[in-house]
Amino acid sequence: MEEVEHLRKRLLFQCQHRGTKELDLVLGPFAKAHLNDLSADELLILSVFLTEPDPNIYDWLTGREPLPERLQSPVTARLVAFGSARLNPGTEE
């Protein structure tokens, strides 16, 4: 259980400190709103997602590029929907 909480804290930090302001403004609020509800497996999926380069993540969140099949999961679908709603005004979360 302690490992899962450590992972949550690490992911929160990573989401809030991407180095790209636009991603900080999307990933940080997503993490604050959803990290406590994610299972250990979902946290690991998010961890893998966050290893991707910022330009790729930005393109996926804005819909410029589709999320690669290897990263598709319910948690990444939630994240992409959340990001799309924030980065593309007028779309639904």
Question: pLDDT tens for residues 15-65?
Answer: 999 989 999 999 999 999 999 999 999 999 999 999 999 999 999 999 999
pLDDT at residue 91 is higher than 50: yes
Q: Residue-wise over 3-41: b if at least 16 C-beta within 10 A, else e?
A: eeeebbeebbebbeebeeebbeebbbebbeebbeebeee
pLDDT at residue 93 is higher than 50: no
Distance CA 90, CA 85 (A): 7
Domain residue ranges of the chain, discontinuous segments joined by +: 2-87
pTM for the predicted model, two decimal places: 0.90
Q: Which of 7, 1, 3 is nearest to 43 (CA)?
A: 7
Average pLDDT over residues 57-83: 95
Domain 2-87: give its CATH code: 1.10.150.250
